[in-house]
Amino acid sequence: MTANTKIARFARRTLTRLMAAGATCAMLAVPATADTAKPLDNQETLPLVLNKSDRTMDFDWPLLHVGTGEYEDGPTGVTVFHFQKRVLVQVDVRGGGPGTVNAPYMDLGYDFPELDTIVFSGGSWYGLESVTAVASALKDDGIRDGDAFSMEPNIAMSVGSIIFDFGSRRLNEIYPDKRLAQAAFRAAKPGAFPLGARGAGRFAKSGGFFGCNAFSGQGGAFKQVGDLKIAAFVVANPYGVITDRDGKIAACYKAKGWPKDLKTAELMQDFPESRKEGWTGGDAETASAKNTTISLIVTNQKLTPPELKRLAVQVHTSMGRGIQPFATQFDGDVLYAVSTAEVEGAPYGSPDLGVMASEVMWDAILASVPEQPKAAILAKGSKLQKAAQDNATGAYEFSRFASLEVTAKDGKLFARAVGKRPVYGIGHEEAVELQAAAGGDYTVPGRYPLTIHFPAESDTIVLNPGNWQQVGKRK
């Protein structure tokens, strides 16, 4: 043990004692009231969806366990990375709106492994509850305790970051809470990472800067060279567009008139013209301006804190190739770099390791893109039958701030937002006609697909059925 390590551990134990001594002075009891006793979104009854996957990245690394949890009613979720022994971690923060737990502590650069878990979460700053909830689970399950007075402090270290998945993209404010995060932690397992709209990437989007508003998610990639292992994980929710190695946009709802094989460079080079009406057709009301890409790079090569910090910086910088523009004021980009120190002797120098890790991260970014929903096909409709009209008309509530009123006139259906906020481009001023689509559904034609489904003999309405659906209940 080095002298610096002994000093750092002594300082940490001293700080913990001081905090413990002053804790009772800072506590303030707040009595529960009728308004605060029950959560408005009633999340405690939501079903837990754990480790669900459509596509999976398989990897061979017994030390690293991954668990995901989702609330389908959001939809929103959480992703937990649990290292089976403590590891060394560094962080690089780039975006203008980050949300993190314990980032300043990681920046101190102590040279002994302390990290147990990294948590990625939806729910904006409310989702940070997930990070501390996993630390509590480590204690409650007997993996860590509250002993900070020995030479080997045993307090759980959980760090993590969030993405913004509220706003115009969904019509409720359900967030990943303590219950969901702890369930995902306890369900974590080695060797499999769900890709696409899963875990913390459950309602991620990309490309709002150019009005693309494509659906996104979480991605992963793994590479092994000899004994060296590199794994990259990312939740891609960027303001910029995801770009492949040929320079093409990986996912985008293009404006009318855009070239079929449009490249990101064309949008970037023609800016600001490329974002003007008539060139992009972008709708400022529907384009999200609160975004984030949170990522993790893991290597089994033993690295010092400065080397690990440089790896974080190099890989994070490289991500500007796969996401353009990257790290804007409206992004909360954070990258964590972890060394499990299973391979000693530094088989690769820092720049070489950084190049390989950067390419693995680009693979992870591209793997995050799910299949995009397609616009409904218009049907040659006849007048609405009375049974269908009775099944569809009414006032539907998605949350306390989003409601939709559906009416019928002359054999046609119309919808108007009656809550506090618009509903996917359906505003308050004038009712919008719902046009008949194939399969008995309805649609509102436009740049972004909007499919409306009225389940038979049900008091619900479903917008965009599938991975990103929003369900309203008839009042």
The one catalytic residue in 100, 292, 299, 328 is: 292
CA 218 – CA 196 distance, rounded (Å): 5
Catalytic (active site) residue 292: yes
Kindly report the CA angle at 421 between 418 and 422, in degrees rounded to 5? 80
Q: How many CB atoms lie within 10 A of CB 71?
A: 25
Strands (E), 400-474: 402-409, 412-417, 432-436, 442-443, 451-453, 460-463, 470-474
CA 461 – CA 395 distance, rounded (Å): 10
CA 316 – CA 264 distance, rounded (Å): 19
With CA atoms as reference, report the closest residue to 231 among 348, 321, 117, 356.
356
Give the single-character DSSP code of 444. -
With CA atoms as reference, report the closest residue to 451 among 461, 443, 439, 460.
443
CA 38 – CA 44 distance, rounded (Å): 10
Which residues participate in catalysis according to the annotation? Answer: 292
